[in-house]
């Protein structure tokens, strides 16, 4: 992304900062740093002043690399955590901020990290911390066209990963091997990384987060596969469930109900819809089909630089330190199908990455839907 993109983002950010009384933001969450500077490496930070100055601190080994990739006014290197604290203090002095408010990412920082960045050696005593989670979420929730282009490329890679994983589904193959096939295919197709790859089989498809194990597939097992590749800094999210062999009548029926509910919810992804309405649409169909007791968790979440980000359903938002989202404008990107339909011994789920459009949904992940592999 070009320099103008980051300048526009910083301008929007500082406008909110001024309106809400923030003198400076101190960002450590990689995705937030990436959004405002183009670089979101670990063990680093970015500081943004209310008048638009951007400073970055990184390990001194990384200075040349960050100069090639990031937008900033100044950069400093440090050798260790103590050096990091002193470099933060240096920027407060450099920007002549002796009192006021510093925005911190309360929903991201651990207690020990919070202690470091609020230590008297890191900031002036009269500069008080305040949560800035909502500022960054608000900035990032509506995607620019170039962000949607990157999400579209990520979705293409996700489809490739799902295809490779499903082709590996055979009796005797382990969940871990299936995950490996998906991840190899996604790397080969252009992913620089991925968030957790979920592969679960048999009774494990009935759990909320099916991280892969060495369990080997057996005939008749359902297999739930969920991948999240990162391409040019942006993540997509796609899930498919297939059967090793022929599914039972009960399994096929549950799958058909879930797909019906998911597709009806996707169809409602147009500007002005609310997260609650989307969730109620999906859950309502499953309840009407007799599966009210088999529902778990919110079925929708936002996606972008992080594979799970704002907008989030109200309860989920509160848990993540976010605010309840207003009706969704166009160009918000969401994953629909986040939680499955879970019976006592197995579960089914499908999920897609969808752009909320002015006139209707723009579906980015397009791998076909089928439960039976034969």
pLDDT above 90 for 225: yes
Structure tokens at 59: 């390990």
Decide if pLDDT at 317 tops 90.
Answer: no
Note the pLDDT of residue 374: 78
Query: How confident is the model over 167-224, as pLDDT tens digits?
Result: 999 999 999 999 999 999 999 999 999 999 999 999 999 998 899 999 999 999 999 9
Give 189: exposed, middle or buried? Use CB within 10 Å, 0-12, 13-18, 19+: middle
Residue 370's pLDDT is what? 97
351 touches 363 (CB < 8 A): no
pLDDT band at 323 (very low <50, low <70, confident <90, very high): confident
pLDDT at 319 over 80: no
**Is residue 29's pLDDT more than 80?**
yes
* Residue 116: pLDDT band with limits 50, 70, 90: confident
Q: 184: how many CB neighbours lie within 10 A of its CB?
A: 12
Question: Is it the case that residue 316 has pLDDT exceeding 80?
Answer: no
Query: Which is it for the CA torsion 314, 317, 323, 326, positive or negative?
Result: negative
Query: Taking a C-beta distance cutoff of 8 angstroms, is the pair 197, 182 a contact?
Result: yes
Q: Where are the domains of the chain?
A: 3-140, 145-363
pLDDT in tens, 234-284: 999 999 999 999 999 999 999 999 999 999 999 999 999 999 999 999 999
Nearest by Cα to 224 from 208, 245, 246, 235: 208
Token pair for residue 279? 């969730």
pLDDT at 93: 95
Pick the CATH number of 3-140 from 2.30.40.10, 3.30.70.890, 3.40.350.10, 3.30.2010.20: 3.40.350.10
In the structure encoding, which two tokens stand for residue 125, read together? Answer: 């005593």
* b/e burial code for range 225-254 (CB count within 10 A of at least 16 → b): bbbbbbbebbbbbbbbbbbbeebeeebeeb
pLDDT-above-70 percentage for the chain: 100
In this prediction, residue 1 has a pLDDT band, given cuts at 50, 70 and 90, of confident
pTM for this model (two decimals) = 0.95
pLDDT at 70: 95
Query: Residues 104, 26: contact at Cβ < 8 Å?
Result: yes
pLDDT of residue 120: 87
Is residue 119 pLDDT above 90, yes or no? no
Alpha helices in 95-174 (DSSP H): 111-117, 133-140, 145-167
Give the model confidence (pLDDT) of 353-370 as tens digits.
Answer: 999 999 999 999 999 999
Beta strands at 45-49 and 54-59: parallel, antiparallel or unpaired:
antiparallel
d(CA 322, CA 329) in angstroms, rounded, equals 17
145-363: CATH architecture: Alpha-Beta Complex (3.90)
Give me the helix-helix angle, 175-189 and 145-167, nearest 10°: 140
End-to-end CA separation in angstroms for the chain: 44
For residue 31, give every residue at least 6 positions away whose Cβ sits within 8 Å of its Cβ, in sequence order, or none.
40, 140, 304, 305, 306, 309
pLDDT score recorded for residue 182? 98
């Amino acid at each position: 992304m070009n320099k103008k993109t980051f300048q526009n983002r910083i301008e929007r950010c500082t406008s909110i900062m001024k309106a809400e009384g923030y003198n400076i933001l101190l960002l450590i969450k990689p995705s937030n740093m990436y959004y405002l500077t183009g670089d979101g490496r670990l063990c680093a930070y970015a500081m943004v002043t209310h008048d638009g100055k951007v400073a970055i601190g990184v390990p001194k080994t990384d200075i040349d690399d960050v100069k090639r990739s990031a937008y900033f006014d100044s950069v400093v290197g440090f050798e260790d955590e103590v050096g990091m604290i002193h470099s933060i203090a240096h920027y407060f002095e450099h920007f002549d901020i002796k009192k006021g408010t510093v925005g911190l990412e309360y929903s991201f920082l651990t207690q020990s990290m919070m202690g470091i960045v609020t230590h008297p050696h890191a900031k002036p005593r009269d500069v008080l911390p305040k949560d800035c989670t909502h500022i960054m979420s608000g900035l990032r929730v509506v995607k620019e066209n170039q962000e949607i282009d990157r999400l579209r490329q990520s979705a293409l890679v996700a489809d490739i990963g799902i295809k490779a994983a499903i082709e590996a589904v055979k009796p005797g193959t382990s969940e871990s091997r299936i995950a490996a096939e998906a991840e190899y295919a996604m790397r080969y197709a252009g992913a620089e990384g991925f968030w957790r790859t979920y592969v679960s089989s048999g009774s494990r498809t009935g759990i909320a987060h099916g991280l892969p194990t060495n369990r080997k597939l057996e005939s008749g097992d359902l297999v739930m596969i969920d991948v999240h590749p990162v391409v040019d800094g942006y993540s997509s999210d796609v899930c498919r469930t297939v059967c090793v062999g022929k599914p039972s009548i009960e399994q096929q029926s549950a799958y058909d109900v879930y797909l019906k509910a998911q597709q009806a919810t996707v169809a409602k992804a147009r500007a002005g819809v609310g997260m609650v309405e989307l969730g109620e649409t999906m859950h309502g169909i499953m309840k009407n089909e007799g599966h009210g007791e088999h529902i778990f968790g919110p079925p929708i979440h936002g996606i972008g630089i992080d594979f799970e980000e704002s907008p989030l359903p109200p309860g989920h938002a509160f848990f993540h330190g976010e605010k309840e989202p207003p009706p969704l404008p166009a160009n918000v990107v969401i994953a629909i199908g986040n939680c499955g339909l879970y019976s006592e011994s197995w579960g089914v789920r499908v999920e897609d990455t969808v752009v909320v459009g002015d006139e209707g949904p723009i579906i980015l992940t397009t791998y076909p839907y089928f439960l039976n592999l034969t």
